[in-house]
Amino acid sequence: MTERRKPYPFDQIEPKWQTLWDERCAFRAPNPGEPDFDPNRPKYYILDMFPYPSGAGLHVGHPEGYTATDIVARYKRMRGFTVLHPMGWDAFGLPAEQYAIRTGQHPAITTRENIAKFKMQLKRIGFSYDWDREISTAEPDYFRWTQWIFLQIYNSWFNPETNRAEPISTYSGADPDAVRLAYVAEVPVNWCPDLGTVLANEEVIDGKSEVGGFPVVKRPMRQWMLRITAFARRLIDELDGLDWPDGIKLLQRNWIGASEGAVVRFAVAPAQLQAGGTAEEIEVFTTRPDTLYGATYLVLAPEHPLVDQLTTQEQRDAVAAYREQVGSKSDLERTDLAKDKTGVAIGAFAINPANGERVPIWIADYVLMGYGTGAIMAVPAHDERDLEFARKFDLPIREVVQPTEGEAIGFTGDGAAINSPLLNGLATAEAKTKIISWLEDNGRGRRNIRFKLRDWLFSRQRYWGEPFPIVWREGKHEALAESDLPLTPPPLDDFKPTGTGEPPLAKARDWVRYSEAATRETNTMPQWAGSCWYYLRFCDPRNADRFVGAEAEHHWMGGSQPAGVDLYVGGTEHAVLHLLYARFWHKVLFDLGHLSKPEPFQRLVNQGMILGEDGRKMSKRWGNVVDPLDVIAEYGADAFRCYEMFMGPLEQMKPWSMKGVEGVSRFLARVWRLVMEENQAGEWVLSPAVQDVPLEKRQLKMMHASIKKVSDDIEALAFNTAISQMMVYVNEFTNAPAKPVTAMRMLLVLLNPFAPHLTSELWEILNARFPDAARDITDCAWPLHNPDYLIEDEVEIVIQVNGKLRDKMTVAIDAADADVEAAALANPKVGELIAGKTIRKVVVVRNKLVNVVAN
RNA sequence: GCCGAUGUGGCGAAAUGGCAGACGCAACGGACUUAAAAUCCGUUUCCAUUAACAUGGAGUGCGGGUUCGAGUCCCGCCAUCGGUACCA
């Protein structure tokens, strides 16, 4: 097969300019204090979600967001901003470790190879990253500071008085370890017996391991936790000022899940207290304290600590059996299969504080230990789950809320209180307020807000991650000194899980032994750790003394806006976890005085997924993965970039189409041929049609309309319509006998952020013949449109009769409404249509239309 | 179940409440060519009427509503996709 002739010589142009940009460090962003730093230029920080460098390399989905940010970066530079546009690698992580387990290849080696491949691919697309700022989370120079930040968190606590993180030294209580933001707890983790390891939540799908599909069970283990729940309120409230999609804000709010309600204390019926038991009351959390009179039984989570004390002799065996049964259930069984309610009464009773009634206490696995107080008051008449449970076990159901219409039993909305002496007749909102006051006055409860958000399980039993800068001495943890950082993982030949749940680092006996009396922590941090603060390191990536220099941080992350990164683009898959974790770390560091602003990412945009040509998700399995390098080899990087943006709105999911790439490639070739032509020898030379001549009126209009449209569209990230406009621009000039050099230059400038190689080359060629402009197109200032050129003296307006289009006419711009109305009524078609009818109204919209209403 | 997004030609898509389908793909026709590719020009929502220029009607998932006028705003459905799931 002979190679098809290239529509224009992108295969020569693109490497040429990529090399030049590299040599000139064309996209270097100087920091304050550096010689070429210009304090008069405003800063603009444009960030991509950096990739995990997998073995498969990039597919065309990755560069979608990267292309969008690159266009904005190039555009903002031309608008006079100093743009920080960096790229790096989220280099710790499971796939490299799994690969190591299979092949014995050290993860550091595969990671290095994968990074090299990713970087080469990105460079071939012509992105304007400041490669001097490249970072990798797996390099000691980087993870040293990840460990340092962990120590900041470890050495802090959340002071509820000030609502801020503070150094642990300001805590006056007896046991600082009980309030640290990083703490150790025995918590249930995802234990996968077949893999012999603990899995992160994100590695568990439908109760089975992502790798291999083996069952996963909950098992309590000693784990490091981060106290993110202390920041729940702020993480919700401080979303308000951010320029994020509403859907993402909502997702985060729901994930954090604030519920307003009350804690109610139920006294345990005295005779029921067992020998040695001290529990006198049970705290429940409810969002419907107004239904207190309808609480006909209590349910505790099976793991609730009071269960042992409260269970009566007769019920011991049944309770033990039930707890055994629940404990052995996998997640899958407890959620998916176990929709059917189960539970067992423990024999004890409690007193409903509202009416003094004795109500039975049950345990059931539909009540979760991890939420609220791990105990509920069941109001079967007004809660679906309680109703189902009560019906199954024949427990009493009392209606206490009357809906405006319909059946009270099973009604969970707001209504009027009934059968509730203190509250009768009150609407739900008032009833809640009143009963809470009553509870508070009587010492039986208080107003309370609970969050769904759980503390962050921060340790992994893995090799390829940041080791904790912690040692254990006599069963107690203590921090390493900052001077001991970075703490590098030990070299290890055998990365396999131990099978016992003990981390692989435990195999490095010498490394683990810190001193005679102390041993190192052997857990490692999760992959999220490195990505929690990489945007900060980009501000000052080579700083050896601090995680980020104060001046650099202030410059790039400060400013007049509420937060630092001006534009952050990435996929929705990180809408919750990454963005929440990063905000949390940022707030801790902010509270401790290390940062200028409380929020990291001011403006967030999610790019939509690119599907395969068959409309399915791109995957090896379907064989529909497209490699950017293949596209670039055939059509060039500029066509690749433009097509990625021309496909449709950035946020939308859309399928790939090679035919579409071809179309965009034809457009770029037309741009090339506006300026170039082939001579007899088949060489491309500057076309003689390009002349220094004035523009015709309609050409001037086209030029200025395009400046306006392309500028507005880039600001709005509507790249597809910006490209459409440039296509129209090119079509306008394609058949013009002379191509005015002004118009050609203008087109190149507008197109430059999208197709930087092609436009750089043509700019250079034009400069050889018309040498009165900037030497390099990247030095050009972005143009401003002149609205005067967009004004017409005449305008075509639409004539409607009863809202239907009937005819058109041309009138003078801004013609008086009365004149337009008269002209419309004089129109023969209108006359025909309104014959015999009465004109009720004539609507005239200036320069748009006239609508005659008649019947 | 709950939350969110989306629904417009054969396809990707455009449209501050004011000419629905810009721009591109595909298809078809023409020019150039010995021929093809490439390039350039044109047609292309559907239905009906007409020899033809053309004319009429319908049309943005479905049903209502607001308005002189609705793809766009409001109410109620349906479908697809994504997230989440006993959170009291």
Q: How confident is the model at residue A1 (pLDDT cuts 50, 70, 90)?
A: very low
SS3 state of residue A368: coil
SS3 state of residue A258: strand
Q: Please tell me which residue lies nearest to nucleotide B41, judged from CA to C1'.
A: A735
A792-854, CATH topology level: Ubiquitin-like (UB roll) (3.10.20)
The total number of residues shown for chain A amounts to: 855
- Residue A260 CA to B87 C1' — how many Å? 12
**Distance (Å, rounded) from C-alpha A115 to C-alpha A93?**
13
Query: Where in A195-257 does DSSP place strands (E)?
Result: 197-199, 204-205, 208-209, 217-226
Q: Give per-residue pLDDT as tens, A755-807.
A: 999 999 999 999 999 987 788 999 999 999 999 988 878 888 888 888 888 88
- Residue A803 CA to B74 C1' — how many Å? 21
What local confidence, expressed as pLDDT, does residue A101 receive? 83
Indicate whether A336 pLDDT > 70.
no
What local confidence, expressed as pLDDT, does residue A3 receive? 46
The full set of domain ranges for chain A reads 10-134+529-612, 149-242+455-527, 259-449, 621-672, 684-789, 792-854
Chain B, protein-covered positions (CB within 7 A): 3-6, 11-16, 18-20, 22-26, 37-41, 57-58, 68-70, 81-83, 85-88
A10-134+529-612, CATH topology level: Rossmann fold (3.40.50)
Q: Give per-residue pLDDT as tens, A497-507.
A: 777 778 889 99
Q: How confident is the model at residue A333 (pLDDT cuts 50, 70, 90)?
A: low
Judge whether A654 is annotated as a binding position: no
Q: Give per-residue pLDDT as tens, A300-331.
A: 999 899 999 899 999 999 999 999 888 766 55
- Residue A180 CA to B82 C1' — how many Å? 37
Indicate whether A366 pLDDT > 80.
yes
Q: Give per-residue pLDDT as tens, A13-34.
A: 999 999 999 999 999 999 999 9
Q: Tokens in use for A733? A: 């000039």
Burial, A705: exposed, middle or buried (Cβ in 10 Å; 0-12, 13-18, 19+)?
middle
What local confidence, expressed as pLDDT, does residue A764 receive? 95
**Distance (Å, rounded) from C-alpha A604 to C-alpha A424?**
48
What local confidence, expressed as pLDDT, does residue A2 receive? 37
Q: How confident is the model at residue A211 (pLDDT cuts 50, 70, 90)?
A: low
- Residue A11 CA to B33 C1' — how many Å? 28
- Residue A738 CA to B59 C1' — how many Å? 43
**Distance (Å, rounded) from C-alpha A803 to C-alpha A798?**
11
Q: Give per-residue pLDDT as tens, A391-441.
A: 999 999 999 999 887 888 888 888 999 999 999 999 999 999 999 999 999
* Mean predicted confidence (pLDDT) in A455-474: 92
What local confidence, expressed as pLDDT, does residue A502 receive? 83
SS3 state of residue A13: helix
The nucleotide closest to A369 (CA, C1' atoms): B87
Q: What is the ipTM of this complex?
A: 0.95
Q: Please tell me which residue lies nearest to nucleotide B11, judged from CA to C1'.
A: A657
Residue carrying the six token digits 């506006």: A674
Preceding amide of A32 cis, omega within 30:
no
Specify the DSSP class assigned to residue A271: G
Taking all residues of chain A, what is their mean pLDDT, rounded to a whole number?
A: 90
The answer to whether domain A10-134+529-612 and domain A792-854 are alike in fold is: no
Q: How confident is the model at residue A332 (pLDDT cuts 50, 70, 90)?
A: low
Indicate whether A289 pLDDT > 50.
yes
Question: Span A259-449: which CATH code?
Answer: 3.90.740.10
Q: How confident is the model at residue A202 (pLDDT cuts 50, 70, 90)?
A: low
* Mean predicted confidence (pLDDT) in A351-372: 92
**Distance (Å, rounded) from C-alpha A847 to C-alpha A354?**
71
CATH architecture type of domain A684-789: Orthogonal Bundle (1.10)
Q: Give per-residue pLDDT as tens, A637-672.
A: 999 999 999 999 999 999 999 999 999 999 999 999
